Chain A
Amino acid sequence: SQQGEEDPQALSIQEGENATMNCSYKTSINNLQWYRQNSGRGLVHLILIRSNEREKHSGRLRVTLDTSKKSSSLLITASRAADTASYFCATAGNSGYSTLTFGKGTMLLVSP
């Protein structure tokens, strides 16, 4: 069963605007990760935030994590057409042999 659930399922914005995607999960985690997938390609890792962190930045990306609400958000600032892709959150549990559990993704369309 899916651990993470992204919201919204689809998002359409103009270039230069900010895009915010949310992820909710159900059980305790070791970390939460965000991935991007361009059409017809494999997933590419964007950022990892650990359970004891609240916010992390990487370039135009800002990720927040609220473990009390079991939720995370990914903010892409000043979006570009090249940011058009699907974005997935993935959670890693606390067990020794942890696997990643992916959500269903948010499809982002950035129009020029």
Chain B
Amino acid sequence: NAGVTQTPKFQVLKTGQSMTLQCAQDMNHEYMSWYRQDPGMGLRLIHYSVGAGITDQGEVPNGYNVSRSTTEDFPLRLLSAAPSQTSVYFCASERQGGTEAFFGQGTRLTVV
């Protein structure tokens, strides 16, 4: 099992560009989440999904879109990148909400 796989590992964007961060899990977990990690801020929840076709906003959803068409995949879309979105992004999956979370290795995004 690969667990949770995120791509790309690193990305540099220009302000205003859009892109999609990919996340896939092979554990058949219902819950998937996206977090951003900034220095001194810990992890903050962006969006999450409790199953295919169901998504909801977290603490910091502005500027991001998600969709969940399959159990395995949960992409995060940046609509128009801003320097404030420079961060490390982590995808995680859980068998069900509030249980052990499995994290990907992260995507380090820089917006210039």
- A47-76 interface bits toward B, Cβ cutoff 8 Å, 1 = contact, 0 = none: 010000000000000000000000000000
Q: Is A28 an interface residue (CB 8 A)?
A: no
Q: Is A98 an interface residue (CB 8 A)?
A: yes
Judging by beta carbons under 8 Å apart, are A99 and B43 in contact?
Answer: no
Secondary structure at chain B's binding surface: helix, strand, loop or mixed? strand
B53 at the interface (CB under 8 A from A): no
Tell me which residues from 78 to 103 in chain A have a Cβ below 8 Å from any Cβ of chain B: 88, 90, 92-93, 96-103
A42 contact set on B, CB distance < 8 A = 4, 90, 103-106
B98 x A92 contact (CB < 8 A):
yes
Which B residues are CB-close (under 8 A) to A103? 42
B55 CB to closest chain A CB, in angstroms?
11
Instruction: Give Cα A96 to B31, complex, Å.
Output: 12
Contact B98 A30 (CB under 8 A): yes
Q: Which of A1, A43, A99 contacts B98 (CB 8 A)?
A: A99
A77 to chain B: which residues have CB within 8 Å? none
A97–B58 Cα gap in the complex (Å)? Answer: 12
Number of residues from B at the complex interface, CB < 8 A: 27
Whether a CB of chain A sits under 8 angstroms from the CB of B71 is: no
Residues of chain B whose beta carbon lies under 8 Å from any beta carbon of chain A = 4, 33, 35, 40-45, 48, 50, 56, 58-59, 90, 92, 94, 97-106
A–B Cβ pairs within 8 angstroms, 28 of them: A2-B42, A33-B101, A41-B106, A42-B4, A42-B106, A43-B101, A43-B103, A45-B101, A45-B102, A48-B99, A48-B100, A90-B101, A92-B98, A92-B99, A93-B98, A96-B97, A97-B50, A97-B97, A99-B33, A99-B45, A99-B97, A100-B98, A102-B42, A102-B43, A103-B42, A104-B40, A104-B41, A105-B42
